[in-house]
Amino acid sequence: MNDSGFTRIGVVGCGLMGSGIAETCARSGVEVLVAVSSERSAEAGRRRIEGSLNRAVVKGRMAQAERSSVLGRITFTTELEALADRQFVLEAIVEDERAKADLFARLDAIVDDPDAVFATNTSSLPVMRVAGATGRPQQVVGTHFFNPVTAMPLVELTGCVHTAPETFERTEAFVTKIMGKEVVRSPDRAGFVVNALLVPYLMSAMRMAEAGFATPEDIDRGMTLGCAHPMGPLRLADMIGLDTLARVADGLYNEFREPLYAAPPLLLRMVEGGLLGKKSGRGFYRYE
């Protein structure tokens, strides 16, 4: 037993974020059940986690025996009902309000523990919009992890107007003491702390490139060499995923109606054309 009281963890979704959350929990010694939509998704998620662990072994950060132990603590299921006995369920599906709300409504009916906590891994959606789909909004919290989850130390923690103090305390205890992350708390506003600052910066870099003011290479070089940023804004945008950024920008703009949050036409056209950044092989840069 740990300070949070969570020993049975569920993760819904095993894309980049879901796989990273599941792996980090398992690295911390926790048994994790990952629910996915299909066997194909399960295989892709398993390969993603295995690849991450293999890289850790090659770099000398993990022994082969530990790799096997971590994998042994992760189980996959295609049946959402298998999460019925979970005490803490972290959702990491697509950044879509309706999809998340539908999932939370289903989890509310499935999970038996009346004290279970539901966490939504969202980078832009107010927590109230998904918590309202459940009959227990006091047990819903937002946990915004950063990619790659295994390496990035921060988690933004937020809740809706109904989230109970105990929900915050149990979630923060698990995230910090078990997963080994640092936490910053944010009010329930689209974008929270980090994206409310980051997204306008990235959109400004895109507008600069769109206007022909400077090339993507010069924009990025200016920020890495002139401001000591570890990565330029356009290469960072490619790494995050341009489709993800477009959705986050849309959520921020709808919340605040500030022009600085609006996605520029260049970003929208790139997403429509399938140029999504590193994951598609091409964004502002080309990737092998």
Q: Where are the domains of the chain?
A: 9-186, 195-280
Average pLDDT of the residues in 270-280: 96
Q: What is the pTM of this model?
A: 0.89
pLDDT at 15 over 80: yes
**So what's the pLDDT on residue 5?**
83
Which among 4, 121, 123, 124 is annotated as catalytic?
123
Q: Tell the CATH superfamily of the 9-186 domain.
A: NAD(P)-binding Rossmann-like Domain (3.40.50.720)
Which among 23, 91, 95, 156 is annotated as catalytic?
156
Average pLDDT of the residues in 24-43: 96
Q: Is 195 a catalytic residue?
A: yes
Q: Is 195 left (phi over 0), alpha (psi -120 to 50) or beta?
A: alpha
pLDDT at 4 over 80: no
Indicate the pairing of strand 9-12 with strand 88-91: parallel
The mean pLDDT of the chain is 95
Helix axes 16-27, 39-58, angle to 10 degrees: 60
pLDDT digits (tens, 9 = 90+) for 167-189: 999 999 999 999 999 999 999 99
Indicate the pairing of strand 140-145 with strand 154-159: antiparallel
Helix axes 233-240, 194-210, angle to 10 degrees: 110
Q: Is 162 a catalytic residue?
A: no
Match 């530990």 to its residue by tokens. Answer: 66
Model confidence band, residue 221 (pLDDT cutoffs 50, 70, 90): very high
Share of the chain above pLDDT 70, in %: 99
pLDDT at 121 over 80: yes
Same fold for the pair 9-186 and 195-280: no
**So what's the pLDDT on residue 1?**
52
Q: Tell the CATH superfamily of the 195-280 domain.
A: N-(1-d-carboxylethyl)-l-norvaline Dehydrogenase; domain 2 (1.10.1040.10)
**So what's the pLDDT on residue 288?**
83
pLDDT at 2 over 70: no
The residue that leads in pLDDT, 97 or 276, is 276
Q: Is 123 a catalytic residue?
A: yes
Q: Is 147 a catalytic residue?
A: no
Helix (H) or strand (E) holding 66: helix 64-72
Model confidence band, residue 57 (pLDDT cutoffs 50, 70, 90): very high
**So what's the pLDDT on residue 147?**
86
Which among 23, 91, 144, 172 is annotated as catalytic?
144
pLDDT at 3 over 80: no
d(CA 207, CA 213): 9
